[in-house]
Amino acid sequence: MAESKGALIAKTVQKHAGRAKEKFLQNLGKVDRTADDIFDEHLQNFTRQQNAATRLQKEFNNYIRCVRAVQAASKTLMDSLNEIYESQWTGHDLLYVQAQNLDMLWQDFTHKLADQVLVPLNTYQSQFPEMRKKIDKRGRKLVDYDSQRHSFQSLQGNPKKRDELKVSRGKDQLEEAKRTYEQLNSELHDELPALHDSRVLFLVTNLQTLFAAEQVFHAESAKVFSELEAIVDKLANESQRGSYTLKKNSEQQSPKSPNANSSLIINTQPAQNNITAALDDSTATATAAAAAAGDSSPTTQLNGNANGNDNSLNNQDASSKNTIAPAKRVEELYDIPVDVEYENGTNLSIGATTDNLPPGVLYRVKATYKYSREDVDELSFDVGEIIRVIEYDDPEEQEEGWLMGIKEGTNEKGMFPANFTKLL
């Protein structure tokens, strides 16, 4: 057994030495070499194809690693957003749902890339090492064939020292080497062109799968991000309207204040008290003037003025009741405001006119400042334009300092800041 193994090793070493000697002589041009231009062309195509497949496999493996890294980063980002997005904010539950949808899209995308793109690519690329081994074997057998051919030619070249036994043995070895070489050569002449032609169909199929997976993923993820954008836009709109602003109980301010001297909106009851106080002051002044003029009956004059003032006050109260009564139902939901102005130090309270208004109109205001809307549901206007104040479609949408109105002339409808206008 040991002798057989030693003989096999010796034979292998001798064969390698013979091939090395033959290739050395061929390179020096001492002996000829069997040429096959067609096979050489097939070999060049195979080498380019193998290099392209190796590069594609390398780059795609790197691409999948990056995609999985982005998938992990996306999940971490959405998890953090879900944690910091406060529960009372609009769209909190929708944000969580869309984050889960995005994670599912990532999982499906990476699964398709691995199973439908990378696995076929690995199978395609695995053909080249096996084919390369066969090509290398064909090269060795070609050297053996050339070596046997040169040996046989040497035996036949010297007729004087010709050994027929060696010639016969050399001929058999030459035929065996030629048969082995030609069999491998014939197989490669068929397999190499077929493998080279297969590159087109493989590349088309593989790229179609890749691009289809990319298209579906990006289209569906775009929908998710569109929903997320809508959620954040709604949060921004509500934030601008002060929905999440902490306000002090001691002072109530409207969202926008163009000028500290803009008209104030107050309830009607304080205005009536101011009017009563003004009338009392007028009565006291008139009584003092009459006494100074020497009226014969100051007591009677005073009583008369007092009665007159009482009647005036009663008439004014009755008029006020008649004016306010038609709007009593409206005032249950909306305070009909008054403007407070000052003239020569006297407080003059002017209430909103509610008479002869179209159905559904609470009162009318006039723009004192220009306002450009900041959202689609707001109303833009210039100084001097008239706006009819109406009720909100949904009372729960009413916000402090804002009114709903229709601009006269254009019938544009929307919200607007009350302190940009004055009452009519």
Taking the chain (424 residues) in runs of 10, the rounded mean pLDDT of each run is: 60 67 68 83 96 95 96 96 93 94 97 96 95 93 87 74 77 89 94 96 96 97 96 91 63 45 41 45 46 42 42 45 43 48 43 78 93 91 94 86 92 93 91
Question: Domain for residue 309, yes or no?
Answer: yes
Pair (272, 175) in one structural domain: no
Pair (129, 271) in one structural domain: no
CA distance 180 to 27: 23
Residue-level pLDDT at 209: 96
Q: How far apart are the first and last CA of the chain?
A: 122
DSSP output for 73-96: HHHHHHHHHHHHS-TTSTTHHHHH
Residue-level pLDDT at 311: 47
Pair (304, 418) in one structural domain: no
Pair (194, 138) in one structural domain: yes
Range of the domain at 172: 32-240
Query: How many Å separate Cα 37 from the centre of its chain?
Result: 57
Q: What is the pTM of this model?
A: 0.51
CA distance 97 to 82: 10
Residue-level pLDDT at 29: 65
Question: Domain for residue 8, yes or no?
Answer: no
* Token pair for 1: 């057994």
Pair (66, 123) in one structural domain: yes
Pair (111, 197) in one structural domain: yes
Domain count, the chain: 3
**375 within 8 A of 388, measured Cβ to Cβ:** no
CA distance 418 to 424: 13
Contacts of 169-173 with CB under 8 Å at 24 or more apart are 173/148
Pair (206, 289) in one structural domain: no
